Amino acid sequence: QTTEKTISAHGVNQLCSPHHLLQGEIFSDLAKKTEMKDIKCIYLFASIDAYSTCARLCPESLDAVKSLYGCARSLVDLGDELLMGKFYEKAVCKARRGLSLEVLKHQETCHLETQLKALMDLALGKIKIDGNAAVTVADTSSLANQMESGKKEDSSIDRLKKFWAKLDGKSKKELLVVDSKDLVNYIQNQFGDRVKRHFG
């Protein structure tokens, strides 16, 4: 049984978008709680997939704005973990897309607009820092040691990225296998009674 068993029509039914949003929040929360870098990255990739599915199913909804924010946030976290600027660039694209949605014109969503702008500014700042990074004379004295010490970690991250890229959608879902009862209990413990209606 997989996480998808809690969703009646994965990736098809528009009414399933809240489930995908919740999925993204759960995977994002799990990524924050783990100290293992490889596992953290897998959870972040999974959260991005879930958030993206929600935004695709309801592209003009408030859930889409929340999902695009969550997706951008996970992309920034991935950029931090993998030290890859392209994730910051993708985060900026997601944030801009969220800011362009008509639903943000409503007063009650102004906090989301503020959060999206702040996240976009953060990602743009990281892109600038990444682009301006240069090796100084002082840096070169220890560069060889840094490269040697980081070789094993970089190799592990490269294998993780290649492994994830080669997986098809079905394999990615099978990788995240859980018992459905344990998943529902976890969700209810984390988010309270307000989510029970999704599992009636």
Report pLDDT digits (tens) over 189-200. 766 666 655 555
The pTM (predicted TM-score) of the whole model is: 0.65
* pLDDT > 70: percent of the chain: 60
More confident residue, 164 or 39: 39
Report pLDDT digits (tens) over 38-61. 889 999 999 999 999 899 988 888
Write out the two tokens for 117: 């702008």
Q: Is 88 in contact with 123 (CB distance < 8 Å)?
A: yes
Inform me whether the pLDDT recorded for 3 exceeds 60. Answer: no
CA distances from residue 181 to 114, 117, 178, 188 in whole angstroms, order as listed = 37, 38, 9, 11
Instruction: Give me the amino acid identity at 195.
Output: V
CA distances from residue 53 to 17, 70, 188 in whole angstroms, order as listed = 7, 12, 22
| H/E element, 36 | none
Task: Kindly provide the residue ranges of all beta strands, DSSP E only, lying in the chain, ordered along the sequence.
Answer: none
